[in-house]
Amino acid sequence: MRENRLGMSLDRSRSAFERAKRVIPGGVNSTVRAFKGVGGTPVFFASGSGCRVRDIDGNDYIDYVMSWGPLILGHAYPAVIDAVRAAAGRGTSFGAPTEAETELAQKVRFCSSGAEATSAALRLARGYTGREKIVKFAGCYHGGNDALLVSAGSSALTIGKPDSAGVTRGTVADTLVVPYNDLDAVGAAFDAHPDDIAAIIVEPYAGNMGFVLPRPGFLAGLRELTRRRGALLIFDEVMTGFRVAPGGVQEREGILPDITTLGKILGGGLPVGAIAGPAEILDHFTPDGDVFQAGTLSGNPIAMAAGIATLRSLREPGVYPRLSAMGERLAEGLDDLFERYEVPHQTNARGAMVGFFFARDPVVDLDSAKRSDTAFYARFFHAMLERGVYLAPSQFEAGFVSLAHDHAAIDATIDAAESALQALLATA
Ligand code: KE4
């Protein structure tokens, strides 16, 4: 048994990863899981309950990845599991409408992933406006669709290949990339392509270059610019929807986009994506409109059941104040700790979404995110892993608390962080 500093073994994960690499490209089914951003062997998990997960070596961790956001109620939340069990017993899929889809819908088209949602949203914006160009922001990630894998964030950034191989020049010829938080650059894009920009797509709070917030006035500026120049505004709230507020960023900031893409929490941990907006735009989707959209498992009844159970539980009184209180407690605890140990840092928390950079200056876009100390983040990640805390295995991600994260879990996390810092600074 190979032990690391604190007696924790990852031997089973190591051998599982070797087996996986023989049959799965890179040993993972989604790039960020490969630990390229932090080094070392990906941890293979066996189970989760509440805010904790257990790996196949039997090590327990407080989890801040939470399946990259969907599990806002925590792992194996009873109401969700019961709903999934009941739905599964009635059949897993019909390829035909079910009433569960209608119950969850608010003029929305369901699909099976965030990437499908953003891809369909672009097609809808182009079909609706008759225009071809799309503006996206460097460091924002909208899933693995070619037109948006340009200066993408998340794992596309982590592996250092923001412009993916296999994406043709033609595919991205209509994708204009500008720096996040830079309204002048957006205005210049419209001046350069008057009457040909169909939409701006933006993570209204960016969670895929690390957690980066819009400057005051940035989102309102995008709203005003798109209105004035006849383009649509797409808020990609796959990550922020139902997380930073019941109505996502658009509720929190009071800015209504033309189209919203959703996923993650909406499926309660099962595969879901969604495109939401006013009938005047959404009704352009086939079959009644001329913008094609389809998917074998779109609106899958089990995913709908998990989503309905999740949203119902989120509507319970006091849920969002508690989520925000836990997010704030974690962010403040880390802030105080980094201050005390004089570690340069930037920390953000909005609702149940938290992030931090090891950086002296504010992080406002991809360039400043990349200037943060990613090497120190990698060392901190492993020091926290050894102390039973599972953070995002990349600096260019956000952290997620759930209803299951309580004071004890947050305080244990801060204690682990202090022990980790002491160890790292002792060997600096
Ligand atoms: P999916 O296709 O992975 O369901 O959603 C794509 C997507 C779209 N929009 C935003 C704002 C997103 O954050 C995502 C996916 N987020 C990543 C985490 N940064 C998912 C984790 C992964 O890629 O494995």
Q: Does any domain span residue 319? A: no
**Tens of pLDDT, residues 107-136:** 999 999 999 999 999 999 999 999 999 999
What is the pTM for the complete model shown?
Answer: 0.95
**For strand 52-55 and strand 60-63, is the pairing parallel, antiparallel, or unpaired?**
antiparallel
Q: Does any domain span residue 414? A: no
Q: Does any domain span residue 32? A: no
Ligand 1 pocket test target in 118, 141, 211 with most atoms within 8 Å of CB: 141
Confidence tier at 154 by pLDDT (50, 70, 90) = confident
How many percent of the chain have pLDDT more than 90?
A: 89
What is residue 1's predicted lDDT score, i.e. its pLDDT? Answer: 38
Residue with tokens 């983040």: 377
* Smallest CA separation from ligand 1 atom 6, residue: 143
**Tens of pLDDT, residues 318-356:** 999 999 999 999 999 999 999 999 999 999 999 999 999
Q: How far is CA 205 from CA 143, 192, 367, 394, in A?
A: 16, 26, 16, 18
The CATH number of the domain holding residue 222 is 3.40.640.10
- Indicate the number of domains in the chain: 1
Q: What's the CA gap between 255 and 222, in Å, rounded? A: 10
218: Cβ contacts below 8 Å, ≥ 6 apart: 181, 183
Q: Which residues line ligand 1 (CB under 6 A)?
A: 30, 32, 68, 113-115, 118, 141-143, 154-155, 203, 207-208, 236, 238-239, 263, 397
* Smallest CA separation from ligand 1 atom 21, residue: 68
What is residue 158's predicted lDDT score, i.e. its pLDDT? Answer: 66
Q: Does any domain span residue 341? A: no
Q: Which domain holds residue 158?
A: 80-314
Q: Does any domain span residue 145? A: yes
| CB-based contacts of 221-227 (< 8 A; 24+ apart in sequence) | 221/183, 221/186, 222/183, 222/186, 223/255, 223/256, 223/257, 225/183, 225/186, 225/187, 225/190, 225/200, 226/199, 226/200, 226/258
Q: Does any domain span residue 53? A: no
**Tens of pLDDT, residues 353-369:** 999 999 999 999 999 99
Q: Please compute Rg for the chain using Cα positions.
A: 21
Q: What are 368's two structure tokens? A: 């400043």
Q: Does any domain span residue 183? A: yes
257: Cβ contacts below 8 Å, ≥ 6 apart: 204, 223, 232, 233, 234, 235, 250, 277
What is residue 160's predicted lDDT score, i.e. its pLDDT? Answer: 55
Q: Does any domain span residue 36? A: no
In this predicted structure, the answer to whether residue 4 has a pLDDT above a threshold of 60 is no
